[in-house]
Structure 1
Amino acid sequence: MRIWGKFFGVVIGFMFGRFGGALLGLVIGHYWDTRGGKIKRMVGRGNSRQAVFFNSTFAVMGHMAKASGRVTENDIRLASMIMDQMRLNGDARRDAQQAFRDGKSADFDLRGCLRSFRMLTMGRPELLQMFLEIQLQTALADGELHPNELEILHTIGKELGFNRRQLDELLSRWQAEFRFRQSHGNAQMQPIGQAYSVLGVTAESSDQEVKRAYRKLMNEHHPDKLVAKGLPPEMMEIAKHKAQDIQTAYDRVKLERGMK
Protein backbone atom coordinates (compact mmCIF):
# COMPACT_ATOMS: atom_id res chain seq x y z
CA MET A 1 0.00 0.00 0.00
CA ARG A 2 1.40 3.36 -1.04
CA ILE A 3 1.14 5.84 1.82
CA TRP A 4 4.41 7.73 1.93
CA GLY A 5 3.24 10.51 -0.35
CA LYS A 6 0.19 11.10 1.84
CA PHE A 7 2.30 10.92 5.00
CA PHE A 8 4.85 13.50 3.88
CA GLY A 9 2.14 15.61 2.26
CA VAL A 10 0.29 15.88 5.57
CA VAL A 11 3.45 16.59 7.58
CA ILE A 12 4.76 19.27 5.22
CA GLY A 13 1.30 20.76 4.70
CA PHE A 14 0.75 21.02 8.47
CA MET A 15 4.11 22.74 8.91
CA PHE A 16 3.18 25.48 6.44
CA GLY A 17 -0.58 25.72 6.75
CA ARG A 18 -1.67 23.94 9.92
CA PHE A 19 -4.84 21.85 9.41
CA GLY A 20 -5.80 23.43 6.11
CA GLY A 21 -2.30 22.80 4.78
CA ALA A 22 -2.38 19.24 6.07
CA LEU A 23 -5.59 18.58 4.14
CA LEU A 24 -4.10 19.97 0.95
CA GLY A 25 -0.95 17.93 1.57
CA LEU A 26 -3.09 14.80 1.92
CA VAL A 27 -4.69 15.44 -1.48
CA ILE A 28 -1.34 16.07 -3.16
CA GLY A 29 0.23 13.08 -1.42
CA HIS A 30 -2.58 10.85 -2.64
CA TYR A 31 -1.91 12.00 -6.22
CA TRP A 32 1.79 11.29 -5.76
CA ASP A 33 1.11 7.80 -4.36
CA THR A 34 -1.36 6.79 -7.06
CA ARG A 35 0.06 8.49 -10.15
CA GLY A 36 3.57 9.54 -9.26
CA GLY A 37 5.41 6.45 -10.53
CA LYS A 38 6.43 8.08 -13.77
CA ILE A 39 7.48 11.24 -11.96
CA LYS A 40 9.53 9.24 -9.47
CA ARG A 41 11.44 7.54 -12.29
CA MET A 42 12.05 10.90 -13.92
CA VAL A 43 13.23 12.43 -10.64
CA GLY A 44 15.96 9.81 -10.65
CA ARG A 45 17.27 11.44 -13.82
CA GLY A 46 17.16 15.06 -12.70
CA ASN A 47 15.74 17.93 -10.70
CA SER A 48 12.41 17.03 -9.05
CA ARG A 49 10.80 20.38 -9.86
CA GLN A 50 11.76 20.01 -13.49
CA ALA A 51 10.51 16.42 -13.58
CA VAL A 52 7.12 17.47 -12.18
CA PHE A 53 6.88 20.31 -14.73
CA PHE A 54 7.75 17.90 -17.53
CA ASN A 55 5.30 15.16 -16.53
CA SER A 56 2.44 17.48 -15.58
CA THR A 57 2.71 19.46 -18.82
CA PHE A 58 2.16 16.46 -21.07
CA ALA A 59 -0.41 14.80 -18.80
CA VAL A 60 -2.60 17.91 -18.78
CA MET A 61 -2.02 18.32 -22.53
CA GLY A 62 -3.45 14.83 -23.01
CA HIS A 63 -6.42 15.68 -20.80
CA MET A 64 -7.02 18.89 -22.74
CA ALA A 65 -6.77 17.10 -26.08
CA LYS A 66 -9.49 14.62 -25.04
CA ALA A 67 -11.81 17.38 -23.79
CA SER A 68 -13.53 17.99 -27.15
CA GLY A 69 -14.54 14.33 -27.31
CA ARG A 70 -11.64 12.83 -29.21
CA VAL A 71 -7.96 13.44 -29.73
CA THR A 72 -7.51 14.98 -33.19
CA GLU A 73 -4.57 14.84 -35.58
CA ASN A 74 -3.88 18.48 -34.71
CA ASP A 75 -3.60 17.56 -31.02
CA ILE A 76 -1.15 14.77 -31.76
CA ARG A 77 0.78 16.98 -34.18
CA LEU A 78 1.08 19.73 -31.56
CA ALA A 79 2.28 17.30 -28.87
CA SER A 80 4.84 15.85 -31.30
CA MET A 81 5.93 19.35 -32.34
CA ILE A 82 6.56 20.35 -28.73
CA MET A 83 8.48 17.11 -28.16
CA ASP A 84 10.52 17.91 -31.28
CA GLN A 85 11.16 21.47 -30.08
CA MET A 86 12.39 20.00 -26.82
CA ARG A 87 14.52 17.50 -28.77
CA LEU A 88 13.04 14.60 -26.82
CA ASN A 89 14.30 11.17 -27.84
CA GLY A 90 14.53 7.72 -26.32
CA ASP A 91 13.29 7.37 -22.74
CA ALA A 92 12.48 11.07 -22.42
CA ARG A 93 10.14 10.97 -25.41
CA ARG A 94 8.53 7.76 -24.21
CA ASP A 95 7.97 9.38 -20.79
CA ALA A 96 6.27 12.34 -22.46
CA GLN A 97 4.09 10.08 -24.61
CA GLN A 98 3.07 8.03 -21.58
CA ALA A 99 2.20 11.15 -19.59
CA PHE A 100 0.07 12.32 -22.53
CA ARG A 101 -1.75 8.96 -22.55
CA ASP A 102 -2.22 9.10 -18.75
CA GLY A 103 -3.92 12.48 -19.12
CA LYS A 104 -6.41 11.05 -21.62
CA SER A 105 -7.67 8.40 -19.20
CA ALA A 106 -11.17 8.83 -17.79
CA ASP A 107 -9.96 8.75 -14.17
CA PHE A 108 -7.21 11.35 -14.60
CA ASP A 109 -7.10 13.55 -11.48
CA LEU A 110 -6.69 17.01 -13.02
CA ARG A 111 -6.98 18.99 -9.80
CA GLY A 112 -4.63 16.66 -7.94
CA CYS A 113 -2.07 16.95 -10.72
CA LEU A 114 -2.32 20.76 -10.75
CA ARG A 115 -2.06 21.06 -6.96
CA SER A 116 0.97 18.80 -6.88
CA PHE A 117 2.53 20.81 -9.69
CA ARG A 118 1.89 24.13 -7.97
CA MET A 119 3.29 22.97 -4.64
CA LEU A 120 6.42 21.35 -6.03
CA THR A 121 7.20 24.31 -8.31
CA MET A 122 6.78 26.51 -5.20
CA GLY A 123 4.15 28.60 -7.00
CA ARG A 124 6.73 30.42 -9.13
CA PRO A 125 4.59 32.71 -11.35
CA GLU A 126 6.84 32.46 -14.42
CA LEU A 127 6.65 28.65 -14.44
CA LEU A 128 2.91 28.65 -13.76
CA GLN A 129 2.33 31.05 -16.64
CA MET A 130 4.51 29.04 -19.02
CA PHE A 131 2.56 25.91 -18.07
CA LEU A 132 -0.79 27.67 -18.63
CA GLU A 133 0.33 29.07 -21.99
CA ILE A 134 1.25 25.58 -23.23
CA GLN A 135 -2.25 24.39 -22.28
CA LEU A 136 -3.78 27.40 -24.06
CA GLN A 137 -1.84 26.39 -27.15
CA THR A 138 -3.17 22.83 -26.84
CA ALA A 139 -6.77 24.02 -26.47
CA LEU A 140 -6.48 26.15 -29.62
CA ALA A 141 -4.57 23.58 -31.69
CA ASP A 142 -7.51 23.20 -34.08
CA GLY A 143 -8.26 26.93 -34.21
CA GLU A 144 -11.38 26.58 -32.06
CA LEU A 145 -12.10 26.62 -28.34
CA HIS A 146 -14.51 23.87 -27.28
CA PRO A 147 -16.67 24.61 -24.18
CA ASN A 148 -15.08 21.65 -22.38
CA GLU A 149 -11.62 23.01 -23.19
CA LEU A 150 -12.59 26.41 -21.80
CA GLU A 151 -13.88 24.75 -18.63
CA ILE A 152 -10.58 22.93 -18.19
CA LEU A 153 -8.66 26.17 -18.76
CA HIS A 154 -10.74 27.81 -16.04
CA THR A 155 -9.90 24.91 -13.70
CA ILE A 156 -6.20 25.18 -14.53
CA GLY A 157 -6.25 28.95 -14.04
CA LYS A 158 -8.03 28.67 -10.69
CA GLU A 159 -5.78 25.92 -9.33
CA LEU A 160 -2.64 27.80 -10.39
CA GLY A 161 -3.80 31.12 -8.93
CA PHE A 162 -4.91 33.01 -12.05
CA ASN A 163 -8.17 34.96 -11.92
CA ARG A 164 -10.63 35.13 -14.84
CA ARG A 165 -9.30 38.47 -16.09
CA GLN A 166 -5.71 37.20 -16.18
CA LEU A 167 -6.79 34.06 -18.02
CA ASP A 168 -8.76 36.08 -20.58
CA GLU A 169 -5.75 38.35 -21.15
CA LEU A 170 -3.44 35.39 -21.68
CA LEU A 171 -5.95 33.76 -24.02
CA SER A 172 -6.26 36.96 -26.06
CA ARG A 173 -2.47 37.36 -26.24
CA TRP A 174 -1.93 33.77 -27.30
CA GLN A 175 -4.57 33.99 -30.05
CA ALA A 176 -2.85 37.14 -31.35
CA GLU A 177 0.52 35.44 -31.14
CA PHE A 178 -0.78 32.42 -33.08
CA ARG A 179 -1.97 34.69 -35.91
CA PHE A 180 1.24 36.71 -35.67
CA ARG A 181 3.33 33.58 -36.26
CA GLN A 182 1.42 32.88 -39.47
CA SER A 183 2.72 36.17 -40.94
CA HIS A 184 6.20 35.10 -41.95
CA GLY A 185 8.88 37.62 -42.89
CA ASN A 186 10.59 40.56 -41.25
CA ALA A 187 9.14 43.02 -38.77
CA GLN A 188 7.88 45.33 -41.53
CA MET A 189 5.51 42.63 -42.78
CA GLN A 190 3.88 41.87 -39.43
CA PRO A 191 0.31 43.18 -38.82
CA ILE A 192 0.54 46.10 -36.41
CA GLY A 193 -2.71 45.31 -34.59
CA GLN A 194 -1.56 41.80 -33.78
CA ALA A 195 1.83 43.12 -32.70
CA TYR A 196 0.11 45.35 -30.12
CA SER A 197 -1.98 42.38 -28.93
CA VAL A 198 1.09 40.17 -28.49
CA LEU A 199 2.54 42.83 -26.19
CA GLY A 200 -0.77 43.28 -24.37
CA VAL A 201 -1.06 46.98 -25.26
CA THR A 202 -3.04 49.06 -27.76
CA ALA A 203 -2.35 51.74 -30.35
CA GLU A 204 -3.44 54.28 -27.73
CA SER A 205 -0.75 53.18 -25.26
CA SER A 206 2.14 55.57 -24.75
CA ASP A 207 5.69 54.71 -25.83
CA GLN A 208 6.60 54.31 -22.17
CA GLU A 209 3.72 51.86 -21.62
CA VAL A 210 4.82 49.86 -24.66
CA LYS A 211 8.40 49.68 -23.40
CA ARG A 212 7.22 48.69 -19.93
CA ALA A 213 5.01 45.90 -21.32
CA TYR A 214 7.85 44.63 -23.51
CA ARG A 215 10.35 44.54 -20.64
CA LYS A 216 7.86 42.78 -18.38
CA LEU A 217 7.11 40.10 -20.97
CA MET A 218 10.78 39.53 -21.78
CA ASN A 219 11.56 39.25 -18.07
CA GLU A 220 8.76 36.67 -17.67
CA HIS A 221 9.84 34.61 -20.69
CA HIS A 222 13.62 34.88 -20.73
CA PRO A 223 14.80 31.27 -21.27
CA ASP A 224 17.82 31.43 -18.94
CA LYS A 225 15.76 32.92 -16.10
CA LEU A 226 13.03 30.30 -16.55
CA VAL A 227 15.52 27.42 -16.45
CA ALA A 228 17.11 28.90 -13.32
CA LYS A 229 13.64 28.91 -11.71
CA GLY A 230 12.92 25.29 -12.55
CA LEU A 231 11.93 25.06 -16.22
CA PRO A 232 13.28 21.78 -17.63
CA PRO A 233 16.21 22.53 -19.96
CA GLU A 234 14.38 20.52 -22.65
CA MET A 235 11.68 23.21 -22.68
CA MET A 236 14.11 26.05 -23.32
CA GLU A 237 13.32 25.95 -27.06
CA ILE A 238 9.67 26.74 -26.33
CA ALA A 239 10.71 29.69 -24.20
CA LYS A 240 13.06 30.85 -26.97
CA HIS A 241 10.23 30.83 -29.52
CA LYS A 242 8.06 32.83 -27.14
CA ALA A 243 10.81 35.39 -26.52
CA GLN A 244 11.40 35.70 -30.27
CA ASP A 245 7.71 36.41 -30.88
CA ILE A 246 7.75 39.13 -28.21
CA GLN A 247 10.89 40.67 -29.70
CA THR A 248 9.46 40.61 -33.25
CA ALA A 249 6.22 42.23 -32.08
CA TYR A 250 8.14 44.93 -30.24
CA ASP A 251 10.32 45.60 -33.30
CA ARG A 252 7.16 45.99 -35.39
CA VAL A 253 5.65 48.49 -32.94
CA LYS A 254 8.91 50.44 -32.71
CA LEU A 255 9.03 50.61 -36.51
CA GLU A 256 5.44 51.84 -36.70
CA ARG A 257 6.05 54.54 -34.06
CA GLY A 258 9.57 55.50 -35.00
CA MET A 259 10.74 54.57 -31.52
CA LYS A 260 14.42 54.11 -30.72
Structure 2
Amino acid sequence: NRIHPAEIDFLKKVADIFGFSEFEFARIQASHLGGDGGDPFLVLGVTPDIADKDLRTAYMRLVRENHPDGLVARGVPEEFVQIAQEKLKAINAAYESIRKKRGI
Protein backbone atom coordinates (compact mmCIF):
# COMPACT_ATOMS: atom_id res chain seq x y z
CA ASN A 1 0.00 0.00 0.00
CA ARG A 2 2.93 2.33 -0.50
CA ILE A 3 2.38 4.95 -3.12
CA HIS A 4 4.70 7.72 -4.25
CA PRO A 5 3.46 11.32 -3.84
CA ALA A 6 3.86 11.81 -7.60
CA GLU A 7 1.42 8.95 -8.14
CA ILE A 8 -1.12 10.65 -5.87
CA ASP A 9 -0.68 13.88 -7.84
CA PHE A 10 -1.26 12.00 -11.09
CA LEU A 11 -4.37 10.30 -9.71
CA LYS A 12 -5.72 13.65 -8.53
CA LYS A 13 -5.33 15.01 -12.07
CA VAL A 14 -7.12 11.97 -13.49
CA ALA A 15 -9.91 12.35 -10.91
CA ASP A 16 -10.27 15.99 -11.89
CA ILE A 17 -10.52 15.05 -15.58
CA PHE A 18 -13.31 12.60 -14.75
CA GLY A 19 -15.10 15.15 -12.59
CA PHE A 20 -14.58 13.60 -9.16
CA SER A 21 -14.90 16.00 -6.25
CA GLU A 22 -12.16 16.26 -3.61
CA PHE A 23 -14.42 14.33 -1.22
CA GLU A 24 -14.94 11.55 -3.77
CA PHE A 25 -11.20 11.35 -4.43
CA ALA A 26 -10.46 11.20 -0.70
CA ARG A 27 -13.08 8.47 -0.25
CA ILE A 28 -11.62 6.38 -3.05
CA GLN A 29 -8.11 6.91 -1.72
CA ALA A 30 -9.15 5.93 1.80
CA SER A 31 -10.98 2.81 0.67
CA HIS A 32 -8.13 1.60 -1.56
CA LEU A 33 -5.03 2.83 0.22
CA GLY A 34 -6.15 3.04 3.82
CA GLY A 35 -5.16 6.66 4.14
CA ASP A 36 -3.17 8.08 7.03
CA GLY A 37 -4.86 6.49 10.01
CA GLY A 38 -8.10 6.35 8.17
CA ASP A 39 -11.15 8.52 8.43
CA PRO A 40 -13.89 5.90 8.80
CA PHE A 41 -16.45 8.25 7.25
CA LEU A 42 -14.31 8.58 4.12
CA VAL A 43 -13.91 4.82 3.86
CA LEU A 44 -17.70 4.46 3.92
CA GLY A 45 -18.21 7.42 1.60
CA VAL A 46 -20.41 9.33 4.03
CA THR A 47 -20.22 12.54 6.03
CA PRO A 48 -20.01 12.65 9.84
CA ASP A 49 -23.51 14.12 10.13
CA ILE A 50 -25.16 11.06 8.56
CA ALA A 51 -28.08 9.52 10.45
CA ASP A 52 -27.47 6.10 12.01
CA LYS A 53 -30.05 4.45 9.73
CA ASP A 54 -28.46 5.96 6.61
CA LEU A 55 -25.02 4.95 7.87
CA ARG A 56 -26.13 1.33 8.09
CA THR A 57 -27.67 1.54 4.61
CA ALA A 58 -24.40 2.88 3.15
CA TYR A 59 -22.43 0.20 4.99
CA MET A 60 -24.66 -2.63 3.74
CA ARG A 61 -24.42 -1.34 0.16
CA LEU A 62 -20.62 -1.39 0.33
CA VAL A 63 -20.64 -4.88 1.83
CA ARG A 64 -22.85 -6.15 -1.01
CA GLU A 65 -20.64 -4.50 -3.63
CA ASN A 66 -17.40 -5.84 -2.18
CA HIS A 67 -18.30 -9.21 -0.68
CA PRO A 68 -15.95 -11.87 -2.08
CA ASP A 69 -18.68 -14.52 -2.39
CA GLY A 70 -20.75 -12.28 -4.63
CA LEU A 71 -17.74 -11.42 -6.75
CA VAL A 72 -16.80 -15.08 -7.19
CA ALA A 73 -20.39 -15.86 -8.21
CA ARG A 74 -20.12 -13.14 -10.87
CA GLY A 75 -16.91 -14.65 -12.23
CA VAL A 76 -14.59 -11.86 -11.12
CA PRO A 77 -10.87 -12.78 -11.40
CA GLU A 78 -9.20 -14.00 -8.20
CA GLU A 79 -6.86 -10.99 -7.92
CA PHE A 80 -9.89 -8.68 -7.77
CA VAL A 81 -11.51 -10.91 -5.16
CA GLN A 82 -8.38 -10.55 -3.02
CA ILE A 83 -8.51 -6.76 -3.36
CA ALA A 84 -12.19 -6.84 -2.41
CA GLN A 85 -11.34 -8.85 0.72
CA GLU A 86 -8.97 -6.11 1.83
CA LYS A 87 -11.53 -3.42 1.03
CA LEU A 88 -14.17 -5.33 2.98
CA LYS A 89 -11.85 -5.46 6.00
CA ALA A 90 -11.45 -1.67 5.81
CA ILE A 91 -15.21 -1.20 5.39
CA ASN A 92 -15.98 -3.40 8.40
CA ALA A 93 -13.35 -1.68 10.54
CA ALA A 94 -14.65 1.77 9.58
CA TYR A 95 -18.26 0.86 10.37
CA GLU A 96 -17.29 -0.71 13.69
CA SER A 97 -15.25 2.37 14.61
CA ILE A 98 -18.19 4.69 13.97
CA ARG A 99 -20.60 2.38 15.79
CA LYS A 100 -18.38 2.36 18.87
CA LYS A 101 -18.00 6.14 18.85
CA ARG A 102 -21.76 6.60 18.53
CA GLY A 103 -22.71 3.82 20.91
CA ILE A 104 -24.89 2.01 18.38
Pairwise TM-score range, normalised by the shorter structure: 0.7 to 0.9
Match of 2:84 in 1: 239
Q: In the TM superposition, what is the alpha-carbon distance from 1:211 to its structure 2 partner?
A: 0.3
Match of 1:251 in 2: 96
Q: Please list every run of 5 or more consecutive structure 2 residues that lacks an aligned counterpart in the other structure.
A: none
Does the Cα contact within 8 Å between 2:34 and 2:90 map onto a contact in 1?
no
Does 1:145 pair with 2:9? yes
Work out the CA distance in 2 between the residues paired with 1:166 and 1:223. Answer: 28
Does the Cα contact within 8 Å between 2:27 and 2:44 map onto a contact in 1?
yes
Q: Structure 1 stretches (4+) deviating beyond 2 angstroms? A: 164-168, 174-180
When normalised by structure 1's length, the TM-score is 0.34
Q: In the TM superposition, what is the alpha-carbon distance from 1:228 to its structure 2 partner?
A: 1.8
Work out the CA distance in 2 between the residues paired with 1:239 and 1:146. Answer: 23
| Superposition CA RMSD, Å | 2.9
Letter in 2 for 1:201: V
Q: In the TM superposition, what is the alpha-carbon distance from 1:146 to its structure 2 partner?
A: 2.5
Work out the CA distance in 2 between the residues paired with 1:257 and 1:241. Answer: 25
Q: In the TM superposition, what is the alpha-carbon distance from 1:235 to its structure 2 partner?
A: 2.7
Q: Please list every run of 5 or more consecutive structure 1 residues that lacks an aligned counterpart in the other structure.
A: 1-77, 79-139, 158-163, 184-190
Structure 2 CA distance for partners of 1:146 and 1:235, relative to 1, 3 Å = closer
Q: In the TM superposition, what is the alpha-carbon distance from 1:141 to its structure 2 partner?
A: 2.4
Report the secondary structure of 1:211's partner residue: helix
Does 1:203 pair with 2:33? no
Structure 2 CA distance for partners of 1:168 and 1:229, relative to 1, 3 Å = farther
1:93-242 correspondence to structure 2 within 5 Å: 141-143=3-5, 144-146=8-10, 150-151=13-14, 164-165=19-20, 169=24, 171-177=25-31, 178-180=33-35, 182-183=36-37, 194-242=39-87
Name the % identity. Answer: 31
Q: Which structure carries more helix by proportion?
A: 1
CA displacement 1:9-45 (0-9 Å, x = unmatched): xxxxxxxxxxxxxxxxxxxxxxxxxxxxxxxxxxxxx
Work out the CA distance in 1 between the residues paired with 2:16 and 2:45. Answer: 20
Aligned residues between the structures: 101
Q: In the TM superposition, what is the alpha-carbon distance from 1:179 to its structure 2 partner?
A: 4.5
Work out the CA distance in 1 between the residues paired with 2:22 and 2:76. Answer: 21
Structure 2 CA distance for partners of 1:258 and 1:168, relative to 1, 3 Å = closer
Report the secondary structure of 1:236's partner residue: helix
Work out the CA distance in 2 between the residues paired with 1:229 and 1:166. Answer: 30
Report the secondary structure of 1:220's partner residue: helix
Work out the CA distance in 1 between the residues paired with 2:40 and 2:34. Answer: 10
Work out the CA distance in 2 between the residues paired with 1:219 and 1:200. Answer: 15
Work out the CA distance in 2 between the residues paired with 1:210 and 1:168. Answer: 17
